[in-house]
């Protein structure tokens, strides 16, 4: 929470994460006497230098002293010392570790501090964990792209190791000053203390922190050997779970501030509809309604309209919304239809599309023409909603040129940037408080809902809490784009693949959301999963093509971005080629990997290891009875390889049932293997739901699914048995939150083919009707 130095007082609140804070910290401006003594100046210089030395790039790039010195001043004045932006230790020995990646269920509340604690030699049970607040010194604070651990593995451990090294140096100096001849080599850190091995003397971190803050900064502190890890790689309880169970953890939906109004916005049932009239008088007759006004929603390049009702209770806002009787002009949306779009995409699949020559090798057309056998197939995947359990919500309070935001968003730095740009105010005038997120899947990295609340708060000069309904979330987007994969392949007389082409047709997120894609250019996000790096099969002739299908339906990343769409076609078609060659699908893949491009041979060997473990753990080589089938798929996304084997069978009632999913994941070294398993299981459930339940469809510009009655999810009794295995190979960490999803659908449909002989090429499908 901001202090009075911000120019206005803030209502006090409890910490949303259930942890205690010793003092409120000013995060946006410098106290006027921040450097009132030479001692403060020297201490600040030392602390700034620490971050420069330990390689926290964004900290080193701070353009103004206020970006790095304020918390150091606040900490120093309270007998606490910040040696890096992520670690604060006070004289009582209390250690506070800062988590820069918002936790939306993926476990960053534990994993990020664990990287620091491992090298700092302190138990996570003995520390306080706090969220960061978007300041530059913390670097990127986005939870997305499965990048939290893989992008922080070395930098955060280095930060912890640097502080440990400085504390050991401080202890050696302290003991040497008392008459002992102590070298740093005679000391080690353990459980928040530095120990002198010969004498057994111990000094707690709190006793050393002031001296440690004056120690030379190690440029390359020695990191622990993984064999000595006490935290990383060990299954352990997550510290956020008890808070979430007993209700002390606060999500955005829980937050209240004094004097706030609740807002609910009626939006056009048809995408891009314009308000022509509304009945404000009737809405204001509802008890508690204070304001009725047009709202604005800036979503990427789109400006979408609505009518907001603000009341002193959420119920009042909802009831007022129902009384608005809005007339809409939805003429611009009448032709928006997913049926028409997919028809257009099938037509576009016959065109050449854009080519990136760096991705291609050989001559596919020539190989196709001379092949013994040729296959062509089209695979389709639908639009999908994110449907996180916690609906979109935010509190905004705009006072003059200052903004304060409470929000469950995927990145506080993104909130600051978006709000500052929208209001045309300096970034340092925006204060943000990030709470736990009740799911996100990419949706809460888009700040349109935040800016809606900012607009309303500025208009009424009061704090405003905006809550989207489930219907708002389901019908208004942005959505995972519906996509099409047009595949071509060819075999020689011996059943070897001689040509493989993957043409992707669909909307470009980059083009719609950020900047127009130049004609003839491949959207580089679109290649996810299908390049030789991500799919190192040894095709002698390989082409990737992309054809853009523009749409007015808003689209954005969804869990695994394009991986879940691309790999359905890619791995399903590999299976088709294997069966056309009369070969076992797993052996077929291993043969292709054996001939991987030389520059990707190491990745191919990891693929082979994953497939071999999958064969062993799933019982791949056992003979199955008639009516039972097993399918596999393997993909690489976010630097992690994951493969699934799905077993299905036809029951006495004639219906196909999923019996079991066995997954093998190679994500390199891990923080908490229990979290890896949980995330992979969650990906399996989400992947099966996307394959078997409902897509989002549009007719006359309107989404036809508005809640979970029509956009169904798998129920707990429908979840098959799951078994997850983690490869242990000491490789650098990859992502975990998303890579388990892309192989789910192709493994399932490949299993259905193995059991029934029916090939599924369009998702979703009704497994009861196969």
Give the Å distances, CA to CA, from 532 to 226, 540, 579, 586, 739. Answer: 30, 12, 23, 18, 17
| pLDDT tens track for 196-205 | 999 999 999 9
Q: What average pLDDT score do residues 296-314 get?
A: 97
In degrees rounded to 5, what are phi and psi of residue 193?
A: -140, 155
Give the helix/strand (H/E) hosting 315: helix 314-322
* Mean pLDDT estimate for the chain: 90
In this structure, of 17-31, 310-324, 495-509, 513-527, the range with the lowest mean pLDDT score is 17-31
Q: How far, CA to CA in Å, does 682 sit from each of 160, 415, 479, 663?
A: 31, 27, 20, 12
Separation of alpha carbons 380 and 187, rounded Å: 62
- Number of helical (H) and strand (E) elements in the chain, helices listed first: 20, 27
pLDDT value, residue 179? 84
Write phi, then psi, for 95 (nearest 5 degrees).
-110, 125
Decide: residue 251, CB within 10 A, 0-12 exposed, 13-18 middle, 19+ buried.
middle
pLDDT tier, 180 (very low <50, low <70, confident <90, very high otherwise)? confident
Q: Which tokens sit at 202?
A: 């111990």
- Indicate if the pLDDT at residue 21 is higher than 80: no
φ/ψ bin of 472: left (φ > 0), alpha (ψ from -120 to 50), beta (otherwise): alpha
Digit-coded pLDDT (tens) for 659-701: 999 999 999 999 999 999 999 999 999 999 999 999 999 999 9
Q: Reduced to 3 states, what is the DSSP secondary structure of residue 640?
A: strand
Which residues 6+ apart lie within 8 Å of 287 measured at CB?
A: 316
45 or 451: whose pLDDT is higher?
A: 451
Name the band, by pLDDT with cuts 50, 70 and 90, for residue 419: very high
| CA dist 471 → 297, 476, 711 (Å) | 16, 8, 11
**What pLDDT is recorded for position 57?**
36
How far apart, in Å, are the Cα atoms of 580 and each of 273, 372, 376, 438? 49, 11, 12, 45
Q: 82: pLDDT confidence band, cut at 50, 70 and 90?
A: confident
Q: Is 82 helix (H, G, I), strand (E, B) or coil?
A: strand
Higher-scoring residue by pLDDT: 460, 332: 460
Mean pLDDT value across residues 120-145: 94
C-alpha–C-alpha distance, residues 82 and 64, integer Å: 18
Q: Could you tell me whether strands 430-434 and 80-84 are parallel, antiparallel, or unpaired per DSSP bridges?
A: unpaired
pTM for the structure as a whole: 0.90
pLDDT number for residue 431: 98
Nearest of 480, 483, 745, 531 to residue 637 by alpha carbon:
531
CA distance 83 to 76: 11
pLDDT score at 80:
65
DSSP 8-state secondary structure symbol assigned to residue 479:
B
Report the percentage of the chain scoring pLDDT > 70.
89
For residue 285, say if its preceding peptide bond is cis, omega within 30 degrees of 0.
Answer: no
Of the given ranges (134-138, 176-180, 532-536, 557-561), which has the lowest mean pLDDT?
Answer: 176-180
Q: What is the model's pLDDT at position 85?
A: 87
Helix (H, G, I), strand (E, B) or coil at 699: strand
Residue 37 in this model has a pLDDT that exceeds 60: no
Asked if the model's pLDDT at residue 635 lies above 60, the reply is yes
Helix (H, G, I), strand (E, B) or coil at 138: helix
Q: What is the DSSP letter of 368?
A: H
Residue 295, CA distances (Å) to 264, 278, 300 in order? 10, 12, 16
Gap between the Cα atoms of 221 and 167, Å rounded = 12
Give the tokens for residue 633.
């798929």
pLDDT tens digits for 687-740?
999 999 999 999 999 999 999 999 999 999 999 999 999 999 999 999 999 999
Residue located via tokens 């029934």: 756
Query: Rounded to whole angstroms, what are the CA distances from 760 to 340, 342, 526, 568, 651?
Result: 21, 17, 23, 10, 19
Label residue 79 by pLDDT band (50, 70, 90): low
Answer whether residue 640 shows pLDDT above 50: yes
**Residues near 316 by Cβ (< 8 Å), separated by ≥ 6?**
262, 286, 287, 288, 289
**Residues with Cβ < 8 Å from 303, sequence gap 6 or more?**
296, 297
Q: What is the tens place of the pLDDT at every residue in 206-225?
A: 999 999 988 888 989 999 99
Tens digit of each residue's pLDDT (9 = 90 or more) over 228-251:
999 999 999 999 999 999 999 999
Mean per-residue pLDDT, 359-364: 96
């Amino acid at each position: 929470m901001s202090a009075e130095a911000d120019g206005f007082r803030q209502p006090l609140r409890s910490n949303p994460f259930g942890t205690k804070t010793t003092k409120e910290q000013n995060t946006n401006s410098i106290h006027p006497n921040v450097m009132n003594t030479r001692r403060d100046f020297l201490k600040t210089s030392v602390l700034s230098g620490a971050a420069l030395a330990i390689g926290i790039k964004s900290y080193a790039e701070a353009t103004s002293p206020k970006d790095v010195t304020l918390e150091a001043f606040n900490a120093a004045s309270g007998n606490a010392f910040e040696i890096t932006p992520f670690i604060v230790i006070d004289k009582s020995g209390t250690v506070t570790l800062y988590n820069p990646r918002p936790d939306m269920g993926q476990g960053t509340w534990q994993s990020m501090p664990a990287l620091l604690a491992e090298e700092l030699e302190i138990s996570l049970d003995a520390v306080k964990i706090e969220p960061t607040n978007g300041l530059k010194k913390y670097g990127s604070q986005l939870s997305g792209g499965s990048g939290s651990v893989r992008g922080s593995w070395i930098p955060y451990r280095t930060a912890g190791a640097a502080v440990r090294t400085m504390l050991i140096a401080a202890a050696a100096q302290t003991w040497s000053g008392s008459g002992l001849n102590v070298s740093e080599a005679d000391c080690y850190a353990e459980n928040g203390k530095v120990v002198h091995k010969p004498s057994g003397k111990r000094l707690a971190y709190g006793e050393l922190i002031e001296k440690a803050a004056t120690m030379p900064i190690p440029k390359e502190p020695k990191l622990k050997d993984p064999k000595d890890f006490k935290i990383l790689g060990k299954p352990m309880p997550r510290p956020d779970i008890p808070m979430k169970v007993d209700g002390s953890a606060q999500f955005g939906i829980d937050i209240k501030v004094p004097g706030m109004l609740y807002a609910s916005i009626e939006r056009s049932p048809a995408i891009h509809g314009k308000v022509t009239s509304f009945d404000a008088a009737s809405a204001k007759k509802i008890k508690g309604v204070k304001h009725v006004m047009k709202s604005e929603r800036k979503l990427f390049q789109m400006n979408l309209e609505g009518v907001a009702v603000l009341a002193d209770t959420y119920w009042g806002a909802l009831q007022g919304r129902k009384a608005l009787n809005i007339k809409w002009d939805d003429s611009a949306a009448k032709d928006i239809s997913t049926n028409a779009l997919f028809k257009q995409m099938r037509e576009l699949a016959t065109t050449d599309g854009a080519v990136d020559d760096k991705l291609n090798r050989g001559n596919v057309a020539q190989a196709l023409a001379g092949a013994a056998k040729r296959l062509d197939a089209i695979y389709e995947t639908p639009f999908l909603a994110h449907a996180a359990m916690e609906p979109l919500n935010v509190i905004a309070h705009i006072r003059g040129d200052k903004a304060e935001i409470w929000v469950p968003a995927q990145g506080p730095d993104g909130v600051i940037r978006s709000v500052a740009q929208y209001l045309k105010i300096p970034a340092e005038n925006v204060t943000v408080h990030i709470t736990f997120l009740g799911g996100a899947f990419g949706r809460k990295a888009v700040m349109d809902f935040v800016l809606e609340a900012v607009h309303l708060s500025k208009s009424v000069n009061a704090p405003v809490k905006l809550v989207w309904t489930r219907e708002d979330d389901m019908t208004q987007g942005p959505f995972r784009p519906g996509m099409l994969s047009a595949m071509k392949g060819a075999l020689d007389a011996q059943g070897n693949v001689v040509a493989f082409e993957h043409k992707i047709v669909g909307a470009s997120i980059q083009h719609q959301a950020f900047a127009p894609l130049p004609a003839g250019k491949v959207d580089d996000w679109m290649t996810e999963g299908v390049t030789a790096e991500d799919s190192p099969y040894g095709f002698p002739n390989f082409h990737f093509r992309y054809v853009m299908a523009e749409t007015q339906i808003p689209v954005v990343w969804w869990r695994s971005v394009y991986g879940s769409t691309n790999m359905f076609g890619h791995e399903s078609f590999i299976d088709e080629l294997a069966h056309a060659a009369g070969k076992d699908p797993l052996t077929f893949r291993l043969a292709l990997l054996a001939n991987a491009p030389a520059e990707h041979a190491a990745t191919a060997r990891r693929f082979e290891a994953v497939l071999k473990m999958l064969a062993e753990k799933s019982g791949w080589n056992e003979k199955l009875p008639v009516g039972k089938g097993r399918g596999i798929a393997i993909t690489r996304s976010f630097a992690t390889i994951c493969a699934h084997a799905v077993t299905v069978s036809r029951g006495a009632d004639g219906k196909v049932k999923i019996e079991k999913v066995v997954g093998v994941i190679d994500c390199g070294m891990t923080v908490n293997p229990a979290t890896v398993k949980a995330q992979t299981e969650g990906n399996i459930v989400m992947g099966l739901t996307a394959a078997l339940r409902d897509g989002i469809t549009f007719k006359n510009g309107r989404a036809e699914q508005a809640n979970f009655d029509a956009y169904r999810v798998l129920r707990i009794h429908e979840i098959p048995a799951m078994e997850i295995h983690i490869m242990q190979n000491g490789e650098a960490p990859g992502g975990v939150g998303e890579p388990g999803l892309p192989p789910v659908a192709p493994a399932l449909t490949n299993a259905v083919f193995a059991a029934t002989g029916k090939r599924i090429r369009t998702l979703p499908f009704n497994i009861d009707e196969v």
